[in-house]
Amino acid sequence: MDIERIMNDLEKKHPGEMEYHQAVREVLESIEEVYDENPQFESAGILDRVIEPDRIFTFKVPWADDNGNVQVNLGYRVQFNNAIGPYKGGLRFHPSVNLSILKFLGFEQVFKNSLTTLPMGGGKGGSDFNPKGKSNAEIMRFCQSFMLELWQFIGPDTDVPAGDIGVGGREIGFLYGMYKKLKREHTGVLTGKGINWGGSLIRPEATGFGAVYFVKEMLTSKGESIDGKTFALSGFGNVAWGAATKINQLGGKVLTISGPDGYIYDPDGISGEKIEYMLELRASNEDIVKPYSYEFPGAKFFQGKRPWEVKCDIALPCATENELGKEDAQNLINNGCTCVAEGANMPSTPEAIEMFQEAKVLFAPGKAVNAGGVATSGLEMSQNAMKLGWPSEEVDERLHHIMISIHETCMEHGREDDGYVNYVKGANIAGFLKVANAMLDQGVI
Ligand code: NDP
Ligand code: 2IT
């Protein structure tokens, strides 16, 4: 495999799309050996085909704000690869959204979904719409206008969107309502739906729960457990909330959460009503974690800082891409952190990952750790197709099994000669092989 040739071509075709290039390079470096051992992949041009999205839709999203002023945002859906199932992946509403971010997320989603063992291809979409400070009515009008374009590209067997940053249960409701009206069909076209109208129990918790189940497996492989361990978390959204809940259930202590304004350090641990308070903070649409320190005076707020300077056993970045760099990695290593698991998508920079691996810190990438969210979306699709709903214990048990299976797969493909498990390599190789073999079977299309 000529990685530099492939990367040069990609950079020419998609200039300046740094996040997309970063995600592709990481996968290429991981799969190089396996790819070269299987010349049938090269003969079928698998690599050149798998790194390029199948198609991208872009559209204008006009809407009127509460003052009657017309606003215009950009909307996108990237359908990346459907070799193993319908396109599947979330929608992100955040001012930073652009095609580089959505291509990186769509690309990662292809391999993540492959790891879940469920039949789902990869896609991603969203808008540069900023939910911060918007009223409920504005969010609704925006979602309705967004769906007025999106509906023609999606369907329960074609492309099934869900939530991501800035898109939770409320937005999925508004989006679904408009889809249903336009299509005149009540089908499983979005996941993360409300429990009374086709949603699955445990889907809101699933990404965070799954991430902690994965950490549990990582620790078990070293003869350790979550009980008594301290955790530094970033973010204060859906993933951080689910993770904090499960960590507490398993006897761990959550010391930090963070927002774009800084981080909260709570030495007593973020548990019970404090976890519920995270939901309130997020729902306020105010984009800040500082109020936590007024509500719970035992906690301290560190303006403009990241939580990675806090001494912890385990770090769980759950906010956004490239939020953990070289210096942060050095801080964590110096402070004795032994395990880093990515709840968010690509939160660690390549330099940080290299440092963790060199220091033999247990490190697992987002496409393995946070796969429980989309896996439970897959379980929601199964329930919709059967027109029934499973009890929460059943969904949770299936989720738990899927996370154990992803962990085993990473160990199988990522174990190095000295016994250290390179989870990045393991996840990328296993995710890639399934997709590549499906593409081989289906010919050049
Ligand atoms: P949410 O919108 O619920 O929360 C994201 C959180 O991170 C928000 O609190 C956000 O604040 C905060 N944040 C954004 N930028 C920063 C920053 N620079 N520093 C600290 N905090 C920041 O999104 P999710 O919890 O759903 O998503 C979090 C991550 O997990 C993303 O990478 C997402 O792609 C990934 N993920 C989500 C899944 C899901 O099921 N929801 C599944 C798998 C992965 P703000 O938005 O206000 O800037
Ligand atoms: O990044 C992700 O895996 C998600 N945002 C969840 C996608 C989904 O389809 O549930």
Q: List, for residues 144-154, the tens digit of each pLDDT value.
A: 999 999 999 99
CA–centroid distance, residue 18 to ligand 1 (Å)? 19
Q: List, for residues 41-88, the tens digit of each pLDDT value.
A: 999 999 999 999 999 999 999 999 999 999 999 999 999 999 999 999
CA distance 419 to 346: 25
CA–centroid distance, residue 207 to ligand 2 (Å)? 8
Q: Which residue has the tokens 């979550």?
A: 226
Compute the half-sphere exposure of residue 79: CA atoms within 13 Å on the CB side of its CA: 17
Token pair listed for 383: 């329930």
Dump the DSSP string for 130-199. --TT--HHHHHHHHHHHHHHHGGG-BTTTEEEE-BTTB-HHHHHHHHHHHHHHHT---S-SSS--GGGT-
Burial of 254-274, coded b for 16+ CB within 10 Å and e otherwise, reads bbbbbbebbbbbbeebbbeeb
**Cβ neighbours of residue 280 under 8 Å, at least 6 residues apart?**
none
Across residues 134-153, what is the average pLDDT? 98
For domain 205-369, the CATH class is alpha beta
Strands 262-265 and 300-303 turn out to be: antiparallel
CA distance 423 to 304: 31
Q: Which residues line ligand 1 (CB under 6 A)?
A: 94, 163-166, 168, 207, 234-239, 258-260, 282, 287, 318-320, 323, 343-345, 370, 373
* Residue boundaries of the structural domains of the chain: 53-189, 205-369
* Closest ligand to the CA of 88: 2
For domain 53-189, the CATH class is alpha beta
When computed from its CA atoms, the radius of gyration of the chain, rounded to whole angstroms, is 21
Write the CA distances from 93 to 102, 140, 170, 242, 270, integer angstroms.
11, 13, 13, 20, 27
* Closest ligand to the CA of 162: 2
Same fold for the pair 53-189 and 205-369: yes
CA–centroid distance, residue 278 to ligand 1 (Å)? 13
Q: List, for residues 172-219, the tens digit of each pLDDT value.
A: 999 999 999 999 999 999 999 999 999 999 999 999 999 999 999 999
Q: List, for residues 304-333, the tens digit of each pLDDT value.
A: 999 999 999 999 999 999 999 999 999 999
CA–centroid distance, residue 90 to ligand 2 (Å)? 5
User: What is the pLDDT at residue 77?
Assistant: 98
Local confidence band at 283 (pLDDT 50, 70, 90 cut-offs): confident
* 3-state class (DSSP) for residue 366: helix
Q: Which residues line ligand 2 (CB under 6 A)?
A: 88-90, 109, 112, 162, 164, 191, 345, 373-374, 377
CA distance 437 to 29: 19
Picking from 100, 92, 154, the residue whose alpha carbon sits closest to that of residue 128 is 92
Tell me which DSSP letter residue 251 carries: T
Q: Does the pLDDT at position 285 exceed 90?
A: no
Q: Does the pLDDT at position 125 exceed 80?
A: yes
* Closest ligand to the CA of 89: 2
Burial of 191-221, coded b for 16+ CB within 10 Å and e otherwise, reads bbbeeeebbbbbbbbbbbbbbbbbbbbbbee
For residues 106 and 53, the answer to whether their CB atoms sit within 8 Å is yes
Local confidence band at 286 (pLDDT 50, 70, 90 cut-offs): confident
258 phi, psi to nearest 5 deg: -150, 160
User: What is the pLDDT at residue 436?
Assistant: 98
Just list the catalytic residues. 124
For residues 155 and 413, the answer to whether their CB atoms sit within 8 Å is no
